Amino acid sequence: MAEHAADMGATVRVAPREIHDLVYRAARIAGCDPGTAERIAENVTYAEIHHGAAVRAFCEAIEALDLPASAWATAPDALLAAEVAARTGGRASAAFDSPVPLAAIAVTLRHCLERGVAPIGIHGRDRGDLAVSAVEMRTVDQEVEGAGGALVAGTGRDAHRLGVEVDRLLFSGLEAAAAGFLVAEATLDELDLDG
Amino acid sequence: MTTAAAAPSQDRLQAELDRRRPRLRPPAVVMQPAMMGAARLTRYSFSRTMLRRAVQSRWLARRARFDIDDRGHGEAVYEIDASGHKLSFVAFTTTIDESEHTDRVIAERWEVAGALVEGDLTGEFLGLLRRQVPLQEAGRFDPRVLVLTRGNRSVRFFDYLVDALSAGAQPDPDLVADAGYILRSTAFYANGKYGMRSFEGYSEDHPLRVPYRAQFVCAWLFRELGYDLVEHCARAGGGDAAVPFDQRWRRYFGLGNATGLGLVPFAFKHPRVIHAWVAIREMALADVRALPGNRDRLERLDEWIDRAHSHFVHGTDHDCRPFLSSVDVASVVLRVRKAFERCRRDPLPFDALYRWSESHGPETAELVVSLLLELHDGDDRLIDELLTVDEHSPLDPASTVGRMRTLLASRFEWISRLDLDDDSADAWWWVISDNTEEPRRARRDRLDPACRDVAIDVALRLWRLRDALDGYDDDTPIHRVLSEHPEHRLAAERLALSDRAYAEPRDNACSTHYLPLLLQRFQLAMYGMDNFKPKSTDWLRVTLFQGAPRLSDFGVDARDDWVLPARPGSSR
């Protein structure tokens, strides 16, 4: 709550879906198609929970970049292409046109891992704003992955149970960036009246 | 509802369906808009499963606080001990001018604002609720808060009921007419909205870790508050002359609800959830249709048919199009009764009755389904498990275009019958209003979406994906197609996710001909709502928990035969 002790300072505690919904809307307004916006939202939400600094990275991106043409939209595709190549060749790499924050690819990497392909050199302790210019990928032992998956699930549950601390100003910025997705009630009422 | 633990239950649901496969109704019948729009509450609607599970688990409930003045203004707290979890429904009540009453979710003031919370209700927590809950969407909450709700008194009946009781009389059945409620709610926010607890934040063994369980606990206590407010105000006005509701009336009223377009996007966005809802009903129907007709079962169905007739015949004949009025439903019940007389000596009488109903239109068929399901005796614990589904199913980037074509043909062949190339198929888009984020529709020729559309145009997107795939060889991996055409990503991912028989409402939400009421009714019936009263093509009023046990009945008289109550003492 607004007056809750945790929310009186520089941070605000939010539910994961709030991050997801706001990032999705902001990405749409920035010109992304629904599928790409959804993927960006999933990446940022996952990265904020597991790595932190993801909302910050996204807010900086929508200020500075043409989002649909940026690596935020395209880097996951490069990763998926590398994953498919690694599944047949054992190893492959994805290089991005420009460095992309881990926040833009975190859940995509997770999905690759679930299918048996892991990134080399990217770790759970890395922050969401870590700049990544290329990712080396290799097939992995599913049993090793299983143990890691349990840890990730635990962190996710805590985030859903307790919420996620996000910088208050950044969250306000995100809300402002997403607000354009909504259409004024008065406009809709006018359309209804006009038939 | 997206959990790894949900995956085994999803497999279990599929196994249960596979076991009954020859007797299941096909998706081509069940998922047709007209059939979905005729759905009725059943034994497995969420209001009923919530109450059954609460009784089975020996939950304890009490009114803990009632600081309400003579006008009905103040605070009330209801507590539930749910298998060791302390839940409280905290309500703040006032009155507003009649002119400020609206069913729209966008209203700014409410006569009742409430929240279901978990944990100790300390002075600090109560103080925060006192300030934040009346603000509703403008408030800020934390994970101790599970559900946020609000509503108003019935303008037509609240004061009448108070006056009657304060004068020492019970309501006049003919004046109460079709009123099925005292308070009418308009929203039950939960699952992470405004900082509240996420569904996934409930531990594996939490009693509210079942879809919509928290909302229905909240709604049931909201209904209890309505009774308490009326009786309290009656006592305040009538003093010693006042009486409480008598045995005939003390369960009759439910909670009203007004529902707009917000339900529609949910149904199009959650195919595996919709599948689970429908599959559970279809499993139960298949089981009942396979039952032979022994005396007990035949008599029980006779009783339910009589009960349905008594309930509906006391309603009104007001225009409820596209649905039937209550009195018209009563006529259908009479036809069902006659048909059942003819079927009862059949070796499989319930199957024979269903087969008869199917040829008499969706309203008849779904009424018969709801009646037949009263004979089913499923395992509620299992049903709870089956409702929790895994919505996580990322598209395999190595899938080939050939595989996608095959999936399109097997999972979405029905879209070819929707005339999706016609201009009328893409006439509307779905939008979120800036006022409390209410979903609405706008005509494409009147307002440019400009990237603000809510992407529930499932049929159109799949249709366009089908065309786009024409330019590729069967061996092309889908990730290559999507990197060249990201606009088809959503459709390709939906194709992967939509892997269950009853996942998709077979309709196009963007068509000129689309009627939201049909899908709204389907969802409301699944929740356990009844008395569908459309107020336009886009919104309707309903009632829930009408006839349900009260707080004081908990653990004493909690039989599951409370639906379809007859209006007390009706002259008809």
Transcribe B155-220 into DSSP letters.
TTTHHHHHHHHHTT-PPPHHHHTT--EEEEEEEEEETTGGG---GGGS-TT-TT-STTHHHHHHHH
* pLDDT score, position A179: 96
Residues B185 and B325 in one domain: no
Contact B489 A35 (CB under 8 A): yes
Residues B311 and B415 in one domain: no
Number of domains in chain B: 3
Is position B533 within any domain? no
Residues B104 and B196 in one domain: yes
3-state secondary structure B48-70: HHHHHHHHHCCCEEEEEEEEECC
Size of interface A-B (CB pairs under 8 A): 150
Within 8 A of A38 by CB-CB distance, chain B residues are: 489-490, 493
Contact B132 A2 (CB under 8 A): yes
Q: A49, A80, A111: which to substitute to probe chain B, counting the most B Cβ within 10 Å? A: A80
Name residues whose C-beta falls within 8 Å of residue B141's C-beta, 6 or more positions apart in sequence.
Answer: A1, B115, B132, B148, B194, B195, B196
Residues B374 and B483 in one domain: no
pLDDT in tens, A103-152: 999 999 999 999 999 999 898 889 999 999 999 999 997 645 554 555 56
Transcribe B358-394 into DSSP letters.
HTT-HHHHHHHHHHHGGG----HHHHHHHH------P
Residues B71 and B190 in one domain: yes
Contact A111 B193 (CB under 8 A): no
Q: Which of B423, B458, B390, B447 is nearest to A34 (CA)?
A: B458
* pLDDT score, position A145: 53
Chain A contacts in chain B segment 247-286 (CB below 8 A): none
Chain A contacts in chain B segment 63-82 (CB below 8 A): none
Chain A contacts in chain B segment 485-504 (CB below 8 A): 486-493
CA distance B480 to chain A (A): 7
Q: Which amino acid is at B246?
A: D
Assess B570–A contact: CB distance below 8 Å, yes or no.
no
Residue of B nearest to A69 (CA): B486
Is position B535 within any domain? no
Sketch the domain layout of chain A as residue ranges: 9-142+160-194
Would you state the structure tokens that stand for residue B487, as one six-digit string?
């606009």
Within 8 A of A73 by CB-CB distance, chain B residues are: 486
CA distance B88 to chain A (A): 17
Q: Which residues of chain B have pLDDT under 70?
A: 1-7, 99-108, 177, 556-558, 570-572
- Helices A106-114 and A34-50 cross at an angle (nearest 10°) of 90
Contact between A55 and A92 (Cβ < 8 Å): no
CA distance B14 to chain A (A): 23
Would you state the structure tokens that stand for residue A151, as one six-digit string?
């840890």
Contact B397 A183 (CB under 8 A): no
Closest Cβ opposite residue B433 in set A2, A14, A185: A185
* pLDDT score, position B173: 87
Last residue of a domain, one of B260, B277, B299: B260
3-state secondary structure B65-129: EEEECCCCCEEEEEEEEECCEEEEEEEEECCCCHHHCCCCCCCCCCCEEEEEEECCCCHHHHHHH
Residues B77 and B170 in one domain: yes
Residues B138 and B86 in one domain: yes
Domain that holds residue B347: 6-41+266-389+517-527
Q: Which residues of chain A have pLDDT under 70?
A: 1-8, 142-154, 194-195
Q: How far apart, in Å, are the Cα atoms of B200 and each of A23, A106, B24?
A: 20, 20, 32
Q: A160, A172, A193: which to substitute to probe chain B, counting the most B Cβ within 10 Å? A: A160
* pLDDT score, position B392: 85
Within 8 A of A80 by CB-CB distance, chain B residues are: 397, 479, 483
- DSSP label at residue B395: P
Beta carbons within 10 angstroms of residue A184's beta carbon: 11
Assess B435–A contact: CB distance below 8 Å, yes or no.
yes
Beta carbons within 10 angstroms of residue B4's beta carbon: 13
Burial class for B415, CB neighbours closer than 10 Å (0-12, 13-18, 19+): buried
Can you give the length of chain A in residues?
195
Rg (CA), chain B: 24
pLDDT in tens, A138-156: 999 764 555 455 556 567 7
Residue of A nearest to B493 (CA): A35
* pLDDT score, position B571: 45
Q: B489, B510, B512, B538: which to substitute to probe chain A, counting the most A Cβ within 10 Å? A: B489
Q: Provide the ipTM.
A: 0.92
Residues B161 and B30 in one domain: no
Would you state the structure tokens that stand for residue B277, as one six-digit string?
């809802």
Closest Cβ opposite residue A183 in set B434, B487, B493: B434
Chain A contacts in chain B segment 415-434 (CB below 8 A): 431-434
Helices of type H across chain A: 16-29, 34-50, 54-64, 71-89, 106-114, 142-162, 168-179, 185-194
Residues B301 and B210 in one domain: no
Residues B161 and B240 in one domain: yes
Name residues whose C-beta falls within 8 Å of residue B394's C-beta, 6 or more positions apart in sequence.
Answer: A111, A114, B493, B496
CA distance B129 to chain A (A): 9
* pLDDT score, position B348: 98
Residues B405 and B373 in one domain: no
Residue of A nearest to B457 (CA): A34
Residue of A nearest to B445 (CA): A191
Within 8 A of A115 by CB-CB distance, chain B residues are: 396
Residues B225 and B329 in one domain: no
Residue of A nearest to B446 (CA): A191
Is position B296 within any domain? yes
Is position B454 within any domain? yes
Last residue of a domain, one of B228, B260, B292: B260
Is position B532 within any domain? no
- DSSP label at residue A127: -
Closest Cβ opposite residue B195 in set A15, A39, A191: A15
Is position B566 within any domain? no
